[in-house]
A = this chain, B = another copy of it.
Amino acid sequence: MTPDERTRRYAELTVRVGANVQPEQDVVVMCLIEHAEIARAVTREAYRAGARHVIVLYSDLHLRRAAIELGPEEELGWSPPYLLDWMSRWPDERPALIALTGNPDPDLLADLDPGLVGRADPREIRVLMGSAIAARRFNWSIVSAPNAGWATQIFGEPDVERLWGAVATATRLDEPDPVEAWRAHTERLQARADALEAHGFDAVRFRGPGTDLTVGLLRSSRWMCATFETETGIEHIPNLPTEEVFTTPDWRRTEGFVRSTLPLVTAGTRVSDLVVRFEGGKIVDVSATAGADIIREQLAVDAQAGYLGEIALVDGSSAVKRTGLIFCDTLFDENATCHIAYGRGIPTTLGLDGDQSTDELLERGVNVSAIHTDFMVGGPEVDVDGRDAAGNTTPIIRNDVWQLS
């Protein structure tokens, strides 16, 4: 397969399987200018799929740096009204949305005042998009765009070809028929979610070296996986790759301690050998051989930051795990093995559209926070069990192999 053909097939997978672009639908692609190769290919495949208009919104992190460094401080975080106006019509216009990740320069803002960097985030746009996504208005997908800067972060050199190989493995692009491979894969994940639902566990327990953690579940929260559906019935896969079956746990009921089994890269910082301890749902102790400060900073963002918002189960058959790489990109790394996330929960797993008040969500057991950080807790040495309300346990994962049916 030539590089051009590989890019084309990747874009086709993104458009047909990921976002599932419909005939005569408009498509909006959100990416950085460094993602142009994939954005162009996605545009072509979207037109081939019958899109009416394809609009690529190119961003540039260097412009954000300029605004932070040199622009008026009181304007930081400003969302351009022309974009806000347009995006506020999206829930009615219902374009397909495709976002590209793969940070070409993760250190770009590292030397700036973190307070200003935080304020430079266009909050109004983020809130607008978040609630429209939670209300299932869009068929959307996030995929990655291999680029030199991202490759350098992983390999220490701009080996884009090697990165492409890993991305192709993780996204099943190297299968003879990627579309069929994804059909079979999502069916397999759905069977796992169905089995978890059928058992109706009250809690999940992780046990392994340095780990004995029990995460309390919510009766009202479903186990979800790869395929989402818009309120108008368009199926789509929000993340390529995706290997997880996940739900929102009860933020009040996590107890014990857990050792992270893979390095974590968050906010551009590598965190190694993270160990955290929970009491009454909350992280009360953090240690790490590197990067503990960034974790403590995140946990201090707001009062609910230290409670869990997500639990996700992944076994050793993960295509991301097979690459053996840390991608320094959550889209990939969270799919390498089981993970949990402190911070914001996912109202969608309770069938909620996210418009509920903070109090109502917390009352229902869904955590609410400005942050959401995933870290990996699974692997060959970690047993995962389900426990029902009566205290009976059932194996879910043993030796990194899925057991539950």
Contacts and interface: CB of A to CB of B under 8 A. Distances in A.
Q: How many copies does the complex hold?
A: 2
A40 B62 contact: yes
A-B residue pairs, 6 tightest by C-beta: A82-B86, A47-B70, A58-B58, A33-B33, A40-B62, A47-B71
26 contacts: A33-B36, A33-B58, A36-B60, A39-B60, A39-B63, A40-B62, A40-B66, A43-B62, A43-B63, A44-B66, A44-B70, A47-B67, A47-B69, A47-B71, A48-B70, A52-B71, A52-B75, A53-B78, A53-B80, A54-B63, A54-B67, A55-B80, A56-B63, A58-B58, A81-B86, A82-B85
A83 interface: yes
- Interface on chain A toward B: helix, strand, loop, or mixed SS? helix
Interface string A359-395: 0000000000000000000000000000000000000
Interface in A71-99: 71-72, 75, 78, 80-83, 85-86
Nearest to A87: B82
Size band of the interface chain A makes with B? 20 to 34
Contacts of A39: 60, 63
A368 to B, nearest CB: 31
A49 to B, nearest CB: 10
Contacts of A70: 44, 47-48
A51 interface: yes
Interface string A111-140: 000000000000000000000000000000
